[in-house]
Amino acid sequence: MKAFEANFDGLVGPTHNYAGLSFGNVASEKSQASVSNPRLAAKQGLAKMKALHDRGFVQGVLAPQERPDVHTLRRLGFSGSDAQVLHHAARQAPRILEACCSASSMWTANAATVSPSADALDGRVHFTPANLTNKFHRSIEHATTGRILAATFPGDRHFKHHPALPGIEHFGDEGAANHTRFCGHYGEPGVGFFVYGRHAFDLSQPRPGRFPARQTLEASQAIARAHRLDSARVVFAQQNPAVIDAGVFHNDVIAVGNRNLLLCHEQAYLEQARVKRDLQRAFDGEPLHIVEVSSAQLSVSEAVGSYLFNSQLLSLDDDHMLMVVPEECRENPRVWSLLQAILAEDNPISEIEVFDLKQSMSNGGGPACLRLRVVLNEAELAATNPATLMSDALFARLNRWIDTHYRDRLAPKDLADPQLLYESRTALSELTEILALGPIYPFQRQGG
């Protein structure tokens, strides 16, 4: 049965703002307190989805979270009406309020880890929402994420939905941003490549000293077990602690892979030569292209600044791939020259397409952050919620929805405005109807 790699991008939420909440994410910290444009951010992401759909790729949409998250604020002791909760939080704990207004669910590479049915022993597509324990503003996402995924990929005949791992640091899980799958063809058994930053139970092992290592080996191992993957076709690799300390908070900031190609920096992993051997061995004799970028070609700081590796690799056919990069890559002469050299080399990358994603990039998320890859065969694609799949009609309807409900300017002081909460809830109520998701948000489920 033919299989496809579908990309499900996150819609940017109405509270997109620059609060600088992500320690270790250089771009996020630099943009703190800047004025954002939620309408433009949503349209930039939507334009990328539509452009890839128009090129024939299977493209889906994942809904944003409910923000401000009044439910979480109430759990933290704030009380009264919704407006009073926001007022008290703004006065007593403004950073907590900022965290509860984050639109970070737009980066759906962190939504979950996904294993296709061709890799799982039970022949189903497996989803585990990421617990994202390292950052409070992201750790509150996974319950709603699980409901969104279950409404997008409904039923248990084709899909298996797992709960998030225990929400403690020992099992810190950042989702597909630290997971890549290699294969010959999408419908064939592949190799699960799990990248972690530290060992949780063995403190003698290397770890970064400046910035946190968000993914643990133990979390990656737990997901591989839960997804019923063949251990002979799973590779675990540790990120280089030095590059984490340079701002590489996820693997997808220093490497990108698709099918039979891995593009990475030469400093991406500890014992990188061994990692490459392990991948070749697990790939079972088929040719695996590994393109390494040297430090002489591009420093780690240049890679972080341009988000070269936070790109998408999309298969055009069996032998050629499209590389989707942010505008920042074209604006950097060294990076753009390197991309032309990669194009000229003997590897599957045959075309580069550039997108303006500056609203997302200013918060530390490029093209790869915005999408969750889901390999589906024809039966699984037919079982997917059709209202979430991009089309000309859906694109037009979502553009009108954004124009109707989104602000074009949002400053930090606006987060305490009760009107923003009411605007967001009105928008999300309509979105659940557009995408046929049902009552996925706390305010819908609790009658708020």
**Alpha-carbon distance 86 to 76, whole Å?**
12
**Strand pairing class (321-326; 349-355):** parallel
250 annotated active-site? yes
Strand 234-238 and strand 191-196: pairing? parallel
Q: Within 10 A of 250 (CB to CB), how many other CB atoms are there?
A: 29
Q: In the chain, count of helices (H) and strands (E)?
A: 18, 15
3-state secondary structure of 433: helix
Residue among 111, 245, 259, 247 nearest 190 (CA): 259
3-state secondary structure (DSSP) of residue 294: coil
Alpha-carbon torsion 240, 217, 233, 274, what sign? Answer: positive
Cβ(138)–Cβ(24) below 8 Å: no
Catalytic one of 250, 265, 328, 380? 250
CA distances from 268 to 212, 294, 302, 372 (A): 16, 10, 14, 22
Whether the Cβ atoms of residue 372 and residue 109 lie closer than 8 Å to each other: yes
Q: Is 174 tagged catalytic?
A: yes
Q: Which is catalytic among the residues 142, 329, 369, 405?
A: 369
Based on the residue annotation, tell me whether 369 is a catalytic residue of this protein. yes
Please name which of 277, 357, 267, 260 lies closest in space to residue 313, comparing C-alpha atoms. Answer: 260
Q: Which residue in the block uniquely carries the two structure tokens 């305490």? A: 416
199 Cα distance to chain centroid: 23
CB atoms within 10 A of CB 61: 24
User: How far apart are alpha carbons 199 and 324 in whole angstroms?
Assistant: 33
Catalytic residue among 174, 218, 328, 380: 174
Distance CA 309, CA 300 (A): 11
The residues annotated with a catalytic role in the active site are 174, 250, 369
